Amino acid sequence: MKNIVLIGFMGVGKGSVARAMVKRSRLISMDTDDIIESMENRSIKEIFATEGEEYFRSLERRVARWLQKSVEGTLISTGGGFHKVPNIKKIGTIVLLNAPFEVIYNRILAHPDAKKKLRKRPLFQEIEKARALYEERLPRYLKIADIVIDVSDKEIDSIAKEIIKKVKK
Ligand code: S3P
């Protein structure tokens, strides 16, 4: 079975959707940011602060090569910029979780841990920069996606159900 790869902007809910999918299926999941943090034994925030973004992207490309070669039948959630790895389409079925930028931003703000959620994301420190990044990325997200799910106004669990149904087709 092919991997299922969840892509989409920071804060759109890739991690929560992955956890809900795991609950309703026999899938095993992994997350590219978690893999990178354990490879480096430090947080994404620290990696960005000490080594810079390009180093982080080189780790993403390394993880992507390993996933393509060594992982199958797995649910893979990714960081918001992971879609840029050159072999993304060879890793599995690409599922884009998407919502308008304002919906994503307001959802983060409504979270009880909003400050923490923003603090750990180096590329979400300034709203206007984050909005510009979203606008810049959206066309490529849409281009590489096999399945697009609009997550606005939907419960996490119904999104999980929708993805499981669509990947089975
Ligand atoms: C990034 C998204 C983050 C993380 C890193 C860079 C991005 O993951 O990989 O901070 O470039 O959009 P989340 O999408 O889980 O926030």
Q: Residue 66: which CATH number?
A: 3.40.50.300
Number of other residues whose CB lies within 10 A of the CB of residue 3:
19
Residues 6+ apart with CB under 8 A from 117: 11, 108, 111
Three-state DSSP state, 75: strand
10 lines ligand 1 (CB under 6 A): yes
Instruction: Give the pLDDT of residue 169.
Output: 78
Distance of CA 168 from the midpoint of ligand 1 (Å): 28
Per-residue model confidence as pLDDT tens digits over 115-158: 999 999 999 999 999 999 999 999 999 999 999 999 998 999 99
Number of other residues whose CB lies within 10 A of the CB of residue 167:
19
77/62 Cα distance (integer angstroms): 16
Instruction: Give the pLDDT of residue 80.
Output: 98
Instruction: Give the pLDDT of residue 14.
Output: 97
80 lines ligand 1 (CB under 6 A): yes
89/68 Cα distance (integer angstroms): 9
Instruction: Give the pLDDT of residue 47.
Output: 98
Domain hosting residue 112, numbered range:
3-168
Number of domains in the chain: 1
Instruction: Give the pLDDT of residue 168.
Output: 86
Question: Which residue ranges in the chain fall short of pLDDT 70?
Answer: none
Helices (H), 71-126: 88-91, 101-110, 114-119
Mutate to test the pocket of ligand 1, among 123, 137, 138 (most ligand atoms within 8 A of CB): 123
